Amino acid sequence: LHAHDRNQVLQIPSCASEVHHVQCLIQEAMEQHGYDDDACFAVKLSVEESIINAIRHGNKFDRSRCVEIRFDVNDECVCIHVRDEGKGFNPCCVPDPTSEENLAKPHGRGIMLMRAYMDEVYYADDGREVTMVKRNRADG
Amino acid sequence: MDITTEILDEATIIRFSGTADGTAVAEIRRALGEGVNATSCRVVCDLSGTSYICSDALGAFISAHEEAREAGGYVYLVHPQRRIADILATTQLDRLFEVFESVEAALVR
């Protein structure tokens, strides 16, 4: 796990146990900038969902492939980029997990949760990189 | 995550306390599997102590629910905290699961 200062860049192997370290670093920065508990919860959830997607669907659990996380936390917003080394995908083609035929399926809710809990979610580089933004509403 | 199981005649009650993140999913799945097998697939999950849940953990509850339902049983959810209830509403899993205010209410259903 490698981290630099304000604009932090992390590279983690494709291993789910690494997610917690990333969540803790971002949560710590958010607390320092006065984000409320709901924002911290939303970012924690979205970070986990995005990294797990990168590990599972992007890097196919190949531990020789890394997931890169870049994030910046300031008083106004949190901006997080998560990038994998996979083949990419079309986020427009992801099935709706709330449809009748998908509701009882155990997977497929990660992107939906990210979109629900973050203020902005968008993909680049054919789906290999997702960017998520959460604005700070703690001061109204 | 702290998981405790209580086997009653009418159902298995499983209490989940703490963070249901990716590191807890295997443990959650195991507890639910044992619960489904213990009392004719009738499982009551007390989520009042659960402060966080990821989509993989939700998936464990869904799989157990489907397994129980196919065998004529159920997986009920009890008293999820506000943020967990929000996730259930956002994902519309409140259409799949029956949610109760208390363990007692779930047991008399």
Nearest alpha-carbon partner for A68 in A22, A127, A120? A22
ipTM over 0.90: yes
Give the model confidence (pLDDT) of A13-44 as tens digits. 999 999 999 999 999 999 999 999 999 999 99
Position B33, amino acid? G
Give the model confidence (pLDDT) of B5-51 as tens digits. 999 999 999 999 999 999 999 999 999 999 998 877 899 999 999 99
Q: Is the pLDDT of residue A138 over 90?
A: no
pLDDT at B82: 98
pLDDT band at A6 (very low <50, low <70, confident <90, very high): low
pLDDT at B58: 98
Tokens standing for residue A56:
């599972």
pLDDT at B38: 87
pLDDT band at A139 (very low <50, low <70, confident <90, very high): low
pLDDT, averaged across chain B:
96
CA dist A126 and A123 (Å) reads 7
pLDDT at A112: 98
- A vs B: CB pairs below 8 A: 56
Contact B59, B92 (CB under 8 A): no
Nearest alpha-carbon partner for B67 in B90, B107, B94, B40? B40
B22 and A16 within 8 Å at the Cβ level: the answer is yes
Q: Which of A20, A98, A107 sits opposite B92 (nearest CB)?
A: A98
Give the model confidence (pLDDT) of B43-89 as tens digits. 999 999 999 999 999 999 999 999 999 999 999 999 999 999 999 99
Q: Which of B22, B52, B66 sits opposite A52 (nearest CB)?
A: B22
Nearest alpha-carbon partner for A136 in A61, A44, A35, A54? A35
Tokens standing for residue A81:
């980029």
Q: Kindly identify which residue of chain B lies nearest to residue A23, measuring between CA atoms.
A: B21
CA dist A16 and B65 (Å) reads 25
Give the model confidence (pLDDT) of A78-120 as tens digits. 999 999 999 999 999 999 999 999 999 999 999 999 999 999 9
pLDDT at A7: 79
Tokens standing for residue A76:
């106004």
Q: Is the pLDDT of residue B109 over 50?
A: yes
Q: Kindly identify which residue of chain A lies nearest to residue B29, measuring between CA atoms.
A: A106
pLDDT at A2: 43
CA dist B2 and B17 (Å) reads 5
Please list every residue in chain A whose beta carbon sits closer than 8 Å to the beta carbon of residue B60: 106
Q: Supply the pTM of this predicted model.
A: 0.94
What residues form DSSP beta bridges with A72?
Answer: A79
Q: Considering Cα of B33, then B35, then B37, then B40, what sign does the dihedral take?
A: negative
CA dist A131 and A70 (Å) reads 9
Q: Is the pLDDT of residue A3 over 80?
A: no
Q: Which of A17, A41, A98 sits opposite B23 (nearest CB)?
A: A17
A116-127 average pLDDT score: 98
pLDDT at A4: 42
pLDDT at A43: 98
Query: To which H or E segment does residue A30 belong?
Result: helix A19-32
